Structure 1
Amino acid sequence: MTNEQPNGTTQVVKMNKSYTVLISLVVALGGFLLGFDSAVISGAVKGITTYFEMTDAMLGFAVGCVIFGAMAGNLMAGPLSDRFGRKSVLIIVAALFAVSASWSALATGYTEFIIARIIGGVGIGGAILIAPIYIAEIAPPKLRGSLVSFNQLNIVIGISVAYFSNYFLVNIEGEAWRWMLGVEAIPAIIYFLALFTVPKSPRWLIQQLNKIELARKILVKIGGEAYAEATIVEIQKGMEREDSKGRLADLFQSKYGTIMIIALGIAFFQQITGINAIFYYAPTIFEQAGGSTDSSFLQAIVVGLTNLVFTLVAIWLIDKLGRKPLLIIGTSAMTIALLMATLAFNNATYRFDQESLSKISNTETQVALAALEGQEFDGQKVLFEAIEGRLTADQFLDFKRNQITNFIQINATLVLIAILLYVAAFAISLGPVMWTLISEVFPTKIKGIAISVVGFFNSLVSFSVTQIFPWELSNLGPTATFAIYAGLSLLALLFVKRFVIETKGRSLEEVEELLIRK
């Protein structure tokens, strides 16, 4: 590759690509833990619900509180990494993941389980911001795009591995949910130890500590003497141009109005369309469609692999096809997929016969519903009206959560296809494109504080979705739940077509010129 020198000439630089890739892979393990921690709870939902005797609200908080912790991590990670360094914060993040996994697996009370989950959430909030920042600062310009994408790829791999892990642990003797949650401590400890082998960010060393010689040694190892010298000059010039630091108040200036609409809008629709509800509750959704526990966990694995494959497709297409076309294609397909799921559940019937009644685990419930043998109901609303008066409140809740799958007659294949299409569409659009887009639309002066604010808002929306999803399934039923998400996906499509600009092929200065109001 070439580097421009201060006198305007260019000099060929031989990059130590393998060293830089190795550093990036180590740091990107934070993305793996983020993805694993986010998805592993899906397999433990039934176990923790029973063990801690959770209501719908308690379950929603137990699953969603990790995002509550992530919001705190979003707010703290940026300032802490500026003060103590990217590497130091990532080491703390790895420790938080290890503590969270171990404690949540050993928890005997609901409160301590929640605390353990929130600790993991703080780790997630730190990892999602600091890992890509570190990689971007350590990577040479020609490698930056592909190396930063390691983090997003590792998030998806972590989600897939969590589904595989849950599948193999679900039938383990004893309380399988403890093993599902605790196994995360192994990669977390590996990550913690591996981080001590990576250098500190040379840009941070110069900008925050003025340790030019230490930074030079790291840069020489990455690209040689000429590359190190040119990079140091570039960093120092950038420091001279920065007349002031961005402040939170700057985000509310009218000239940034269009940028904030795009960034906050994309952050909102990325989560409100239900992706984390699908990831967190995948086995529950497939059981609602009449699948057995084993088959529902296997189908969740397929969901994870679909997410992985189409994330690779997105990485391949994002600089070829562009950001806006991917968003339009993705949100359109998401809307279609969610409508398919809505249709499948809307056409489902619930049949009471001797075989289905015999599968009810609670004897009192079985006796109370025996009079319905031979009847068939069209839709959950009619079904619930017929049985609610026959059961106690606890029995009715148990029926909605656990027993209803014994009676449903549904096109389960259509549900699976719909979920896979939805995940594939998300993986090529709102998933990876959001973070790429918001890193491009904000000017350098406000980029750090702006991305922290957008990340916090994104986590807040995600928390809200995962908090109410169990209540939606139990009280509105899957038909209404998926119909709501379909409507929100359609709104996302309209938002993209109206507000989002194409940034492919434009320099950051051109994007800034296009978006900032004079």
Structure 2
Amino acid sequence: MSQHEQVVKMNKSYTVLISLIVALGGFLLGFDSAVISGAIKGITTYFEMTDAMLGFAVGCVIFGAMAGNLMAGPLADRFGRKKVLIVVAALFAVSATWSALATGYTEFIIARIIGGVGIGGAILIAPIYIAEIAPPRLRGSLVSFNQLNIVIGISVAYFSNYFLVNYGDESWRWMLGVEAIPATIYFLSLFTVPQSPRWLILKLNKVKLARKILQKIGGEEYAEVTVLEIQRGLEKKEKKGRLADLFKSKYATIMIIALGVAFFQQITGINAIFYYAPTIFEQAGGSTDSSFLQAIVVGLTNLVFTLVAIWLIDKLGRKPLLLIGSGVMTIALLMATMAFNNASYEFKESSLRKVDDYQIYVALTELEGKSYDSQKALFEEIREKLTSQQFLDFKRNQVTNFIDINATWVLIAILLYVAAFAISLGPVMWTLISEIFPNKIKGIAISVVGFFNSLVSFSVTQIFPWELTNLGPTWTFAIYAIFSAIAFLFVHRFVIETKGKTLEEVEDLLIRT
């Protein structure tokens, strides 16, 4: 191996290392997003939640993320990417500790929202930082480290929940509190990474410091070329972008792509799956332990196929992955729809004995021997025999005792859906968002798109408990399937390929003069 090749390898290792450190924010994001799935039963009982309260308790973290989205971009432009990420790490630690110790519903919500603000910052600023320090040939893979860490965080959360589920009557506190450990590690690690060289030049005009960082990344020649490209962009840079600039016709193509992909990433239901995975598998007739185990399999599938995406994103490209992923997601969601649609409900003596509310049990005994070929038909008859509160309890907790469904088919459909998302909308969206915005509007644009993405995600997670209770899983998955099909058509029509292009080349390609 030549001396030059050794230098290149060493520089690549340095770039990978700082990218991995920064991407730990993705780990915390993923962990925070998934850990609540195991705590749902515990917090519902402890805080005596209705469906609406539960939906907000789960989704409020996204509500906080919207605030983080709005603040993160402008703050990162003003104070630097690194400083904002350090604050983000502190917010994660505070949120984890406080939510684990909360004794009231309002207090719990506030703690979760604080973590949401951290999520809003991490999900936007970490990819921007990595995109700004990464050489073009590595950028797609390195930016995808953030998504990789998100799915690792999700998987670790599912494992953690499984091992803590029987850890006392208030095991949910341990589930939520353990996040403080990686948050503290992230906080300390961030002090070892450099500032973004692009930010140093564009905001502080610190060319010498930026050049030193770029030399560590790719050597002297790479540093000189990159500095010249950044300065060229600075020369043609206009005054700082404002919100009104996003609506200018020259940015129309960029905004259509960004807002469209941000919308479809969430409206197709991924966070409903991750936040409520055990609940979904219980809807398919699984026990509590088996549903937690199946959630672990979901997390591992997400992890494996995110690794596949990282391998393919700079080889196959962004658009092909989006097309393949959204197409397969549509098929998988239709499979889940058919599985729940073909389910039946049988009132056997053994099933009735599983009902843990005596009054509901007595009311249902006269149905012994009956069966129903749809959840709608079942609920129509059950509603007349129970009080409104008993009926809500039945729909939430008891109906799974009577379902006869191909649970394996449901599991396969969910795993296929998660795998397809993991190679497409999951990592590719954030890679695209970090690439397509010019420096002038990047801060405000990233915040607006991130806010919109979080708003859609909040809507999906807020309404999901109501959907399961009132529409049933059949229509819930059917709606997601329709949106996935529309996502395929959108990508085919509007999304462009950015593989192998510098950020400046992408800007020239997309902006209308």
With the shorter chain as reference, the TM-score category is: over 0.9
Specify the alignment match of 1:327 in structure 2.
Answer: 322
Specify the alignment match of 2:154 in structure 1.
Answer: 159
- Cα deviation 1:438-470 (Å, max 9, x = unaligned): 334333433332222111111110010000000
Tell me the amino acid that sits aligned with residue 497 of structure 2.
E
Q: Relative to structure 2, which stretch is displaced further, 251-260 or 149-158?
A: 251-260
Partner of 1:390, secondary structure, is coil
Partner of 2:451, secondary structure, is helix
Specify the alignment match of 1:401 in structure 2.
Answer: 396
Specify the alignment match of 2:361 in structure 1.
Answer: 366
Specify the alignment match of 1:171 in structure 2.
Answer: 166
State the Cα distance separating 1:505 from its structure 2 match: 5.3
Change in CA separation of 1:55 and 1:258 when aligned onto 2, cut-off 3 Å: same
CA contact (8 A) 2:250 2:511 kept: yes
CA contact (8 A) 2:136 2:502 kept: no
- Cα deviation 1:318-377 (Å, max 9, x = unaligned): 233232222222112111111111111111111112111111111111111111111111
Specify the alignment match of 2:3 in structure 1.
Answer: none
1:194-205 alignment runs, 5 A limit: 194-205=189-200
State the Cα distance separating 1:183 from its structure 2 match: 0.7
Change in CA separation of 1:113 and 1:322 when aligned onto 2, cut-off 3 Å: same
Specify the alignment match of 1:8 in structure 2.
Answer: none
State the Cα distance separating 1:393 from its structure 2 match: 1.6
1:431 to 426, 441, 446: 426
Specify the alignment match of 1:471 in structure 2.
Answer: 466
State the Cα distance separating 1:258 from its structure 2 match: 2.8
Change in CA separation of 1:223 and 1:264 when aligned onto 2, cut-off 3 Å: closer
Specify the alignment match of 1:460 in structure 2.
Answer: 455
Specify the alignment match of 1:106 in structure 2.
Answer: 101
State the Cα distance separating 1:199 from its structure 2 match: 2.8
Change in CA separation of 1:513 and 1:30 when aligned onto 2, cut-off 3 Å: closer
Change in CA separation of 1:52 and 1:366 when aligned onto 2, cut-off 3 Å: same
CA contact (8 A) 2:141 2:311 kept: no
Partner of 1:16, secondary structure, is helix
User: Is 1:337 aligned with 2:332?
Assistant: yes
Specify the alignment match of 2:51 in structure 1.
Answer: 56
Partner of 1:389, secondary structure, is coil
Q: Relative to structure 2, which stretch is displaced further, 296-305 or 253-262?
A: 253-262
Partner of 2:345, secondary structure, is strand
- Cα deviation 1:161-212 (Å, max 9, x = unaligned): 1111111111112211111111101101111122222233333334333444
Tell me the amino acid that sits aligned with residue 410 of structure 1.
I
2:343 to 332, 342, 348: 348
Specify the alignment match of 1:20 in structure 2.
Answer: 15
Tell me the amino acid that sits aligned with residue 391 of structure 1.
L
CA contact (8 A) 1:14 1:224 kept: no
1:505-516 alignment runs, 5 A limit: 511-512=506-507, 515-516=510-511
State the Cα distance separating 1:133 from its structure 2 match: 2.0
Specify the alignment match of 1:285 in structure 2.
Answer: 280
Contiguous gaps of at least 5 residues in structure 2: 1-6
Specify the alignment match of 2:413 in structure 1.
Answer: 418
Change in CA separation of 1:200 and 1:496 when aligned onto 2, cut-off 3 Å: closer
Partner of 1:332, secondary structure, is helix
How many Å separate the matches in 1 of 2:87 and 2:439? 27
State the Cα distance separating 1:480 from its structure 2 match: 1.1
CA contact (8 A) 2:31 2:157 kept: yes
1:269 to 252, 264, 268: 264
Tell me the amino acid that sits aligned with residue 306 of structure 1.
T
How many Å separate the matches in 2 of 1:142 and 1:330? 23
CA contact (8 A) 2:25 2:146 kept: yes
CA contact (8 A) 1:15 1:224 kept: no
CA contact (8 A) 1:137 1:203 kept: yes
Specify the alignment match of 1:84 in structure 2.
Answer: 79
Contiguous gaps of at least 5 residues in structure 1: 1-11
State the Cα distance separating 1:389 from its structure 2 match: 1.8
State the Cα distance separating 1:151 from its structure 2 match: 1.3
How many residues end up aligned between the 2 structures?
507
Change in CA separation of 1:65 and 1:136 when aligned onto 2, cut-off 3 Å: same
State the Cα distance separating 1:296 from its structure 2 match: 0.4
State the Cα distance separating 1:416 from its structure 2 match: 0.3
CA contact (8 A) 2:97 2:177 kept: yes
Partner of 2:265, secondary structure, is helix
Q: Relative to structure 2, which stretch is displaced further, 403-412 or 228-237?
A: 228-237
Tell me the amino acid that sits aligned with residue 182 of structure 2.
P
CA contact (8 A) 1:14 1:223 kept: no
User: Is 1:307 aligned with 2:302?
Assistant: yes
How many Å separate the matches in 1 of 2:248 and 2:167? 56
CA contact (8 A) 1:13 1:226 kept: no
Change in CA separation of 1:77 and 1:384 when aligned onto 2, cut-off 3 Å: same
How many Å separate the matches in 2 of 1:326 and 1:144? 16
State the Cα distance separating 1:436 from its structure 2 match: 2.3
Q: Relative to structure 2, which stretch is displaced further, 34-43 or 196-205?
A: 196-205
Change in CA separation of 1:390 and 1:23 when aligned onto 2, cut-off 3 Å: same
After superposition, the CA RMSD in angstroms is 2.2
CA contact (8 A) 2:76 2:443 kept: no
Tell me the amino acid that sits aligned with residue 441 of structure 1.
I
CA contact (8 A) 1:71 1:456 kept: yes
Partner of 1:90, secondary structure, is helix
State the Cα distance separating 1:299 from its structure 2 match: 0.5
